Amino acid sequence: MDIIVLGLSHKTAPLELREKLHIPESDLPDALEGLGACGQILERMMLSTCNRVETYAVVDEVEGTRRFLVEYLAERNKLSPEDFESSLYLLTADHAVRHIFRVASSLDAMVVGESQILGQVKAAYGTALERDATGLILNNLMERAFRVAKRVRTETEIATSAVSVSSAAIELAKKIFGDLKGRAVMLIGAGKMSELSAKHLLAEGVGSVIVANRNITRAVELAERFSGRAVHYDAARAEMVRTDIIISSTGAPHQILSKTDLQEIILQRRNRPIFVIDIAVPRDIDPAANEIDNVYLYDLDDLQGVVQANLRERQREADRAEVLIDREVAQFTHWLESLKVIPTIIAMRRKVESIREEELERVLAKLQDLSPEERQAISLLTSSIVNKILHDPMTELKRQSALRDGHLYVSVLRRLFAIRDD
């Protein structure tokens, strides 16, 4: 019996291939049903996201299961195995356990520390539970994976640093203003990056959003998404006097705000701070504006610098998380190995008990004058002797079973006492 992971991810396959193998959430029950056709798969679940397609399974035999899964994925997605087999990875035993823990904890994610993957793993496991596709081992493994993910979140700071341009901008804005609640935001232009930044700002509780764009129709559409107000591009400067945060991304071939423009604006604001994010290429705003007191101007290079620094910090926290995961893998492996010794202990006790009963019956047949109480006393005596003889070997067997060479102890004991596999 083995735990395996077979799949591909953003680390081994391009998006084009991941799209071909992707299984929509609504199709997962049917896919799990298909895996049930393989008699070598004892327990199963499937995880399919934009970055990975993986099968987690408890199997009787690894290579036969691998061949079945490859053929199943090929047939289901109308592909040839040659189209994707070189991108697959197969992990077994503690390597599989460690991978599952790392996926749930977002250590194997494209952006280390992102929170979305844990919800996706929980949803995939929930689907497998509903289909009765899991059992003792996968259930225990996934519950431990969720516990590990929680420990990584609470015992490290892996998710506290901004690692996208938009989130980095919000991190900087909070350093300048502290609480962003009630702050006024202006979007100049209606690009995707500025839109994403606005979403982050709204999540922080900013008070109002103004969208300024040459295409007023587009400005209105975007403003409605944020329950904001649209103005024509020509009216933007007048609005900046009442704006605390400006996000500019116009695609204009020249600068749209000069140092002089921002000097006039900051004067009308009576030197109240203004935070300006220039994420346009080429830049919308004269870099010299950063020389003005209370004007905080950041461009893409500045934000990327914050992102890279935070990524390095996340990697340090990820290293701490890896140590935590190693301990959890060892604990799960200990539990898993203990399951293997239980049938041997049961078989051993049955064999010894059978010998005791047989010999007891033979002796008592010769002692006809014994009272029922005396017979009971002899039976209890022999039972006690057997238990005391077995106690130390069985205790040591349980301890050794969780160690690297534990299976050797189980194997030797079964051979010495002629315990056969059923």
Q: Is the pLDDT of residue 174 over 80?
A: yes
List CB contacts of 292: < 8 A, sequence separation 6 or more. 259, 262, 263, 266
pLDDT at 327: 93
Q: Is the pLDDT of residue 406 over 70?
A: no
State pLDDT tens for residues 116-164: 789 999 999 999 999 999 988 899 999 999 999 999 988 988 777 656 7
β-pairing verdict for 89-92 and 2-9: antiparallel
Measured CA to CA, the distance from residue 7 to residue 76 in angstroms comes to 15
- Report in angstroms the alpha-carbon separations of 319 from 10, 91, 94, 152, 156: 21, 21, 19, 11, 10
Measured CA to CA, the distance from residue 281 to residue 254 in angstroms comes to 10
407 confidence band (pLDDT: 50, 70, 90)? low
Q: Is the pLDDT of residue 422 over 60?
A: no
pLDDT at 263: 96
- Of 418, 360, 257, 340, give the one whose Cα is nearest residue 3: 340
Mean pLDDT of the chain: 88
Domains and CATH numbers, the chain: 2-155 (3.30.460.30), 165-304 (3.40.50.720), 337-416 (no CATH)
pLDDT at 6: 96
Identify the bridge partners of residue 274 per DSSP, sorted by sequence position: 295
Contact between residue 15 and residue 24 where contact means Cβ atoms under 8 Å apart: no
pLDDT at 30: 92
| Residue 167 one-letter amino acid | S
Measured CA to CA, the distance from residue 38 to residue 133 in angstroms comes to 12
Higher pLDDT, 282 or 261: 261
Q: Is the pLDDT of residue 64 over 70?
A: yes
204 confidence band (pLDDT: 50, 70, 90)? confident
- Report in angstroms the alpha-carbon separations of 383 from 355, 356, 374: 11, 8, 14
Measured CA to CA, the distance from residue 281 to residue 396 in angstroms comes to 69
Mean pLDDT across the stretch 395-417? 73
Q: Enter the DSSP assignment of 367.
A: -
Catalytic residues: 50
If phi > 0 it is left, if psi is from -120 to 50 it is alpha, else beta; for residue 118 that is alpha
**Helix orientation angle between 93-104 and 136-155, rounded to the nearest 10 degrees:** 50
165 confidence band (pLDDT: 50, 70, 90)? confident
Measured CA to CA, the distance from residue 419 to residue 344 in angstroms comes to 8
- Of 51, 275, 254, give the one whose Cα is nearest residue 178: 275
Weakest mean pLDDT among 3-17, 166-180, 354-368, 405-419: 405-419
Name the percent of the chain lying above pLDDT 70: 96
State pLDDT tens for residues 226-268: 889 999 888 999 999 999 999 998 888 889 999 999 999 999 9
The tokens for 358 are 């047989």
List CB contacts of 73: < 8 A, sequence separation 6 or more. 21, 53, 79, 84
Mean pLDDT across the stretch 336-348? 77
Q: Is the pLDDT of residue 404 over 60?
A: no
Mean pLDDT across the stretch 199-206? 86
pLDDT at 333: 86
pLDDT at 403: 60
Higher pLDDT, 273 or 304: 273
The tokens for 354 are 């059978």
Coil, helix or strand for 110? coil
**Helix orientation angle between 406-416 and 372-401, rounded to the nearest 10 degrees:** 140
